[in-house]
Structure 1
Amino acid sequence: MDQSTWYVIAIVIYLGVMLAIGYWSYRRTTEYDDYVLGGRDLHPFVAALSAGASDMSGWLLMGLPGALFLTGMSELWIAIGLLLGAWANWKWVAPRLRSYSEVAGNSITVPSFFENRLRDKSRTLRILAALIIIFFFTFYVSSGMVAGGRYFESTFEGDYMTGLIIVSVVTVIYTFIGGFLAVSYTDVVQGLMMFAALLIVPIMALIALDNPAEIFSFASENPYGTAGIENPEYFNMVAGVSATVIIGNLAWFFGYFGQPHIIVRFMAMRKPSDAKAGRFYGISWMFLSITGAVFVAIVGTVFFSQNDYAITDQDSYETIFLDMAQVLFHPLIAGLVLTAVLAAIMSTMSSQLLIVSSSLIEDLWKMITKKNLPEKTLINLSRGAVLVIALLAAVLAINPSDSILGLVGFAWAGFGSAFGPLVLLSLYWKRLNATGAIAGMVTGAVVSMAWGMIPATSDIIYEMVPGFFSHLIVTIVVSLMTKAPSAEVQEEFDRAAKLASIAAQDEDVDFEEAAEKL
């Protein structure tokens, strides 16, 4: 059999497993809350790998290695910011959000949590949050489809559109039928595949080198290691990099607090104390995976020069992981390794599609119609929303105008700026009110989007920085200048804080019973 046939066999096996998990989840999904949030029964290991896999996407296996290969270790600041941000998210947001979402009207989406937390009877906060989710996630899903198209270009030397369609259709199918459970458990399988591939590929490539020690000097001494541009400071993280660039890359840290597809996993955990174990699993997975991605780039600088292999993507160099795996392994093994990229792409797309569909139905449709629809109807409406968003994202992905990292960066900054400060203030500041929250959310979203679209400003510093801090300042100032929240809201804040404290002190406490007693 030729190489492509082996690849097809590997991918068919993988896609079959994903669809089987989707069907298994479909059999377990009987209520609307199951479809949207999995019945709030996620094990911390599942929550951690699901959050990690849906977070990292094709960026980890394609975007990051490509950026490091092309530019050097100065791009590593993004990874450092992400690692620190993920740790802080699990530490500060996860346990408190799980407690508060239980107390605040049993919220099942991020917009509904904001509304319930602040008792916004105008519904403005919830509508704006839902619209922001729909807008930015459409770009985010589109980045996954772009990665899928480029995957097929590199792996099969095939057609970009064919790859885009195949990846999109399978992802939509298992998300469509299985909902949150399908997304979470496929994420676990996909996360383990990504982890294994990112460790195996650079190790095997290193073994294949004539002189492995060259990896720490070759790129700074030879132009091919940096895409034909000599870069003697390849391994220097600060040389030639301005302070604003470093700050902007580290600022990816702040994005974590506002990513709906990540923090919804916190809302779905069994209890707040699970956050401790989830943090251990999630950060360990993330650290080792990022380390693997870094070594894919470093080893690649020598590997492709020594073997005189061509890298498929000669613009962003985002296919070096794919190209390296194809050279190193038997086609069947290579095919299984390469499915890790599909896993990364599909895990993120499925999570984002589900969050958008939840916002469309839970936060917009139910509110507009004001009808108590049957559970089955709500589930089917959510499934229809998955299809609509997938089609819109596909239109954007047909002729991508940016790299995978560029598309991800735009959406990441948008969510971090629009939601990040509000999530933190909702959990830790009693004086927050709905007026301040609305003003801050709009400010963060608009500043981030405008800053990122203007080359003169986006080249100065990543839009996350002005977006996040303008939101934070406006929310605090407006909240202090307007009426304080009601006694009911403040009393609920104290109950949520107390519940989080009880759960942290006694990991075996019956969480739901403790919530009822407060």
Structure 2
Amino acid sequence: MTEYSYQFLAIVIYMIIMLGIGWYAFRKTSSLTDYMLGGRGLGATVTALSAGAADMSGWLLMGLPGAIYLSGLVEAWIAIGLTIGAYLNWLLVAPRLRVYTQVSNNSITIPSYLDNRLRDNTKLLRIASGIIILVFFTFYVSSGMVSGGKFFESSFGMDYHTGLLFVSAVVVAYTLFGGFLAVSYTDVIQGLIMVVTLIAVPVFGIFLTGGFGATLDSIKEVNPDMLNLLPATATATGIISSVAWGLGYFGQPHIIVRFMAISSVKEVKSARRIGIGWMIFSLLGALSTAFVGVAYFQQQGIELKDPETVFIVLGQIIFHPFIAGVILAAILAAVMSTISSQLIVTSSALIEDIYKALFNKSASDKHYVFLGRMAVLFVSVFAAFVAWNPESTILGLVAFAWAGFGAAFGPIILLSLFWKKLTNYGALSGMVAGALVAFIWGRTPSLSGMLYEIVPGFIVCLVIAFIVSLVTYKKNADIEKEFDETQRILKEERN
């Protein structure tokens, strides 16, 4: 067998496993809650790894190592900010959101939770948040499909469109049939592949570079400031902008929906430890891969044409072609896990939050599960259409979506969980204002170059939601009762 044959075999085996998990989840899915939220029965390990894999797309295996390879440890501030944000998300949001979404009319999506929690009789909040999710995640999904197409094009010389269709077909198949359970179970496999390969590449790679000391010496020869977290070129606003990525976690629908699906509050603590442990090992692996790559290519006198391929190239140099294929599968896993998570959230937004709110029809769970699957197919086809020409895909929306979701939903989620007086008008006005500020700021070069748009967007959303809520607040006995009931259950389950 040729080198490419071994690598392609590893990819095919990985794809078959993903489809097998999708079939298994399909047999366990009967109700809408099963399809959209896994029946609220996920264990700590599945929840933690699923949230991590859904969060860390190809950026973890290609973007971050590439940035570190070029600029050094100063690029690690984003990783530090994300780790802090993820930890606070698990600590503050996860337990409360798990309880509150069940207490508040068993809400199974973020928009339906806000609608039920704030008693929004106008349905404007639910529809607006559903539309935000639908629009941004559709383009987010298309960007993931582009990544899949380019992956097969660069790794195997496959035609871009063939690679795009191959990735899209597999990820759509297990998401469409297996729903949230399939997405979560496949994320576990994908998360494990990602962390194992991210640790294996630098651990074995350091033997090629002559050990720890020789590796450090080679890195310093390339750039003495490379191992400095605060080099002379670093600026305060640049560091703040990087760390501020962590704010985005509070408002990412495809991540916080995992908190709603965990079996109980008691499982959250274990899930937090597993999830943050996975994240730290993965990020350290990505950083180490970059530095080992710097040392290796310096010693060999080779110039790496594309720094974002350092993980792939090192893996192919170090390991047998089949293992190198597993490493390629790790990159594909990162892309596919994010696509599938976004697809299921987009489907739920379309059916649970827009279709039900507009038409208010009563139907069986079987009917809604069918519509959910059709929504996955519809969004996938549209996303593939957008991705068909990679040059026409608005890749900037990926970065904007993180800031947009963080600014629009983050403060509202936090206020809804910790403050009784948040109103539907406060939430709606804050959400819209945060999204607009993030959009305008991000599209104004003089502003975006100064500070990441999530910072002003988050602050504006928080302030406006707070002020408008104070002005429009009217005591509601049902809201007060649910808030107190949530607090009571939290205390009981934590003891």
Does residue 224 of structure 2 align to residue 259 of structure 1?
no
Cα distance in 1 between the residues matched to 2:338 and 2:210: 37
| Pairwise CA distance, 1:157 | 3.6
Aligned counterpart, 1:447: 437
Whole-Å separation in 2 of the counterparts to 1:217 and 1:403: 41
**CA separation of 1:146/1:108 partners in 2, compared to 1, >3 Å: closer, same or farther?**
same
- Contact residue 57 and residue 348 of structure 1 kept, 8 A: yes
- Contact 2:144 2:339 (C-alpha < 8 Å) held by counterparts: yes
In structure 1, the residue matched to 2:55 is 55
Taking the aligned partners of 1:71 and 1:160, their CA distance within structure 2 comes to 30
- Name the Cα RMSD after superposition: 1.8
Matched, 1:32 2:22: no
Q: Deviations over 1:296-340 (max 9, x none)?
A: 11111122333455646x3xx322111211121111111112211
- Alignment match, 2:390: 399
Q: Which residue pairs with 1:274 in the alignment?
A: 267
| Aligned-partner residue type, residue 225 of structure 2 | E
1:378 aligns with 2:368: yes
Instruction: Give the alignment of 1:137-148 within 5 angstroms.
Output: 137-148=137-148
> Which residue type is aligned with residue 399 of structure 1?
P
1:13 maps onto 2:4 in alignment: no
The farther-off stretch of 205-214 and 7-16 is 205-214
TM-score scaled to structure 1, two decimals?
Answer: 0.92
Q: Is residue 62 of structure 2 the alignment partner of residue 69 of structure 1?
A: no
Note closer, same or farther for the CA distance 1:487–1:274 as it changes in structure 2 (3 Å cut). same
Which of 486, 489, 499 is matched with 2:476 structurally?
A: 486
Separation (CA, whole Å) in 2 of partners of 1:388 and 1:48 = 29
> For the residues of structure 1 that align with 2:302 and 2:171, how far apart are their CA atoms?
32
**Structure-2 separation of matches of 1:415 and 1:259:** 6
- Shift, 1:270, TM fit: 0.9
Cα deviation, 1:216-250, whole Å, max 9, x if unaligned, reads 3434433xxxxxxxx54222222212111110110
User: Are 1:81 and 2:81 matched, yes or no?
Assistant: yes
Aligned to 1:153: 153
Judge conservation of contact 1:325–1:334 (CA < 8 Å) in 2.
yes
Runs of 5+ in structure 1 lacking a partner? 223-230, 506-518
Secondary structure at 2:463's aligned position in 1?
Answer: helix
**Aligned ranges for residues 89-104 of structure 1 at < 5 Å?**
89-104=89-104
Q: Deviations over 1:198-222 (max 9, x none)?
A: 0001111111124642433434433
Q: Could you tell me which residue of structure 1 aligns to residue 339 of structure 2? A: 349
Shift of residue 352, structure 1, vs aligned partner: 0.5
Please say if 1:419 is aligned against 2:409.
yes
2:454 is the alignment partner of 1:464: yes
Out of 477, 484, 488, the position equivalent to 1:498 is 488
Alpha-carbon deviations, 1:92-151, whole Å to 9, x = none? 111111110111010000000000000000000001110111122123223322322332
The 8 Å contact of residues 65 and 294 in structure 1, kept in 2 or not, is answered as yes
**Cα contact 2:422–2:473 (8 A) shared by 1:** no
Q: Residue by residue, what CA displacement relative to the aligned partner does 1:152-185 show, whole Å, maximum 9, x if unpaired?
A: 2332143333322221221111101100110000
- Report deviation, 1:395: 3.8
1:202–1:292 contact (8 Å) kept in structure 2: yes
Residue correspondence of structure 1 range 23-422 to structure 2 within 5 A? 23-210=23-210, 212-222=212-222, 231-239=223-231, 240-307=233-300, 311=304, 314=306, 317-397=307-387, 398-400=389-391, 408-422=398-412
8 A Cα contact 1:118 1:485, kept in partner = no
Q: Is the 8 A contact 1:420 1:468 kept in 2?
A: yes
- The answer as to whether partners of 2:54 and 2:254 remain within 8 angstroms in 1 is yes
The CA distance in 2 between the partners of 1:388 and 1:214, in whole Å, is 54
TM-score by length of 2: 0.96
CA distance in 1, matches of 2:145, 2:423: 39
How many residue pairs were aligned? 493
